[in-house]
Structure 1
């Protein structure tokens, strides 16, 4: 079946993807700063180091590593960390694959819908649209440019621009299931492109198995939801009431600083190109939420 090397394998997506790939018969190697298990190998970007054994029999690399965008306030140091954790790690992988002449069949990288900027508009963004010029967009541009360098080695590249990932284990839904976020943020008109974690894992698997699934794709469900409609649907599934008032923009900006603008803005993102290759298991929010919370209609 092949051996897949995953960075960020101890994170939300990485853990679920590792499980699904292993269940399908793939061997999975994981790069981590603190190896604990037999299939985990050490790497350190500051020291320009990757354990060479991590590349043994590797057929594909899936690059998920990157500091959490919404984990901390965006100080200047944090901004540098957000970029370096994505770009420097990609450059290190490129350098080592080139040096050791690792014969991988493809390089598959995460990216974000932040490529299109944090804007609220009537535009439905597709993969052909140009990036904006805000900070979140700049991160994605630099990240993708680093990933595309693998094409210089005649290695096919797939990039998945990912929306809000829905999972019961952790992540966005866990944060939203709080008094602050089970309310409409700002005006609530901003769109929230999202994807069920099972669909996202299947897209990564498809990038391994389908030689035609190469290039840049939006990893978002076909259905468009605003912050208001998303929060309302979540409250119904959780059987918890929404707060009767919106969370004011100025409160979020005070609490979160510059990072607040990615919560207060958002446009629709098209999945049409992706849907030509993949049929979503959870194309609508209700089916995704009911699956995650194990309810039945």
Structure 2
């Protein structure tokens, strides 16, 4: 196991470098000049713009800029400064990520509990009324765009019923994060429910299930040990990769509910062409994806004893 983890960590290095390089190139080849944008419509003297670009290192070749950026991150954990405000990007990350982590954790909990619960009910009652109702509801959720679902929840539960606040004023208040968490995790919840239902319905007809029943094992053990552990492998794969998707895909949700997290910061960085901030945020998300992928692979051996890592 230790050698497998070490090998996977080494494999992450070229993946991390390749991903961050791609993101860096995409960000810094966007049209527009962030330095010229500091002066608005009035413009500025070309010599002044050239001096600022030189001070920021933006006049260097793109690969030299990437090398300097990655060197600062690896050696000093320095993500640079924002171009407009001069504020360290680490401070921006420190403000944005805790908010998004709380929102993501709540959305993931809703996705995990409701998605697995509905999927288990549908899988054990495949072809019956409960199964059909769950399939219809989840299909409806999948068909509704995120911004439409968020608008419906705000209109009904905030403006008409007054049960929730229309915007998040205190991101440390978990009750205010409930509505955006439902919107953020709604689509994933539907996918988890349908995936769980499909894998359980297939495994119910497997030979090992008939053998377990024929041996006279209690129903709780047949379902809880034999059926669930084998059915959860594809679900765990989806859940593991969805953690990063929830953190990075909250742009629309955070904008709807005025949540000042990673999504809103990414949106503002794109508008202002704050390359250092945007690359720093996405770099952290890449690390989250890689670590979640490693954790999922390790969980396979827990769920299926037949899996062994050399």
TM-score (norm 1): 0.24
Q: Which has the higher contact order (CA 8 A, sep 6+)?
A: 2
TM-score (norm 2): 0.23
Which structure: greater helix fraction?
2
